[in-house]
């Protein structure tokens, strides 16, 4: 399973990248706004900076909701760097845009996926990635990881090339479940990635080793 970080925060991207386990970055308009990035030029420059920091796929989201607007925006985003993947919302116009991008050699990530039907349509249109939002499904009282299991099964039976990119990750257990259920990629906040490191028995064990090492010094 590939690890992406889900943030537009450069310090966090760098920290995750320095671990040596990072395969890419996903962003969205909310994450860009959180970093105070404002204006078209600043946004394009921020994506460029992220592309220079991380050698992997970088999702950059369009904000138009009509076909022509999405295509125009996506062309500009894709021109920033070969690693840019244009993120397109799961709406009717978005499916048309994904098909256009696919036919024109631009890779896409279909975002805001909450059902298997939506993921199947995006895969048929040629999306490189589909992004099921598992945390938000949990928030609404359903089990987000069940969608990952369902998509893994369908994509494998159908032989879809589209990768399942589990998004809206809220904790380390989400990451473990996504790995178990066959997600191709998990995009995570830094806290959830670092949470995978933690176990109290590791801390206790290390303290003992260090204490005993003093006896052998
Ligand atoms: O990748 C999508 C993600 O940013 C949404 O996460 O926590 O806002 O549901 P969240």
Distance from the alpha carbon of residue 20 to the mean position of ligand 1, in angstroms: 23
Ligand 1 pocket by Cβ (under 6 Å): 6, 26, 28, 131, 133, 135-136, 167-168, 187
Helix (H) or strand (E) holding 7: none
Q: What pLDDT score does 174 carry?
A: 98
CA distance 134 to 123: 18
Nearest CA to ligand 1 atom 8: 168
- Phi first, then psi, for residue 24 (nearest 5°) are 170, 180
Dihedral angle sign, alpha carbons of residues 26, 173, 181, 91: negative
pTM above 0.85, yes or no: yes
DSSP output for 109-139? EEEEE-SHHHHHHHHHHT-SEEEEBHHHHHH
pLDDT per residue over 8-65, tens digit each? 999 999 999 999 999 999 999 999 999 999 999 999 999 999 999 999 999 999 999 9
Domains by residue range for the chain, with CATH: 2-216 (3.20.20.70)
């Amino acid at each position: 399973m590939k690890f992406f970080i889900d943030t537009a925060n450069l310090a966090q991207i760098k920290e995750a990248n320095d671990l040596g386990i990072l395969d890419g970055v996903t962003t969205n308009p909310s994450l860009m706004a959180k970093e105070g990035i404002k204006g078209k030029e600043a946004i394009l420059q921020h994506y460029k900076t992220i592309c220079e920091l991380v050698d992997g796929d970088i999702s950059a989201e369009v904000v138009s909701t009509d076909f022509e607007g999405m295509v125009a925006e996506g062309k500009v985003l894709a021109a920033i760097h070969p690693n840019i993947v244009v993120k397109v919302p799961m709406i009717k116009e978005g499916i048309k845009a994904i098909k256009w991008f696919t036919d024109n050699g631009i890779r896409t990530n279909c975002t805001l996926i909450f059902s298997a039907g939506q993921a199947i349509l995006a895969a048929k249109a040629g999306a490189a990635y589909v992004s099921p939002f598992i945390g938000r499904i949990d928030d609404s009282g359903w089990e987000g990881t069940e969608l990952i299991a369902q998509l893994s099964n369908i994509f494998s039976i159908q032989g879809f090339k589209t990768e399942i990119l589990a998004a809206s990750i809220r904790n380390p257990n989400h990451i473990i479940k996504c790995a178990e259920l066959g997600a191709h990629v998990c995009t995570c906040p830094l806290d959830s990635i670092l949470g995978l490191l933690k176990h109290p028995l590791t801390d206790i064990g290390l303290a003992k080793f260090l204490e005993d090492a003093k006896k052998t010094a």
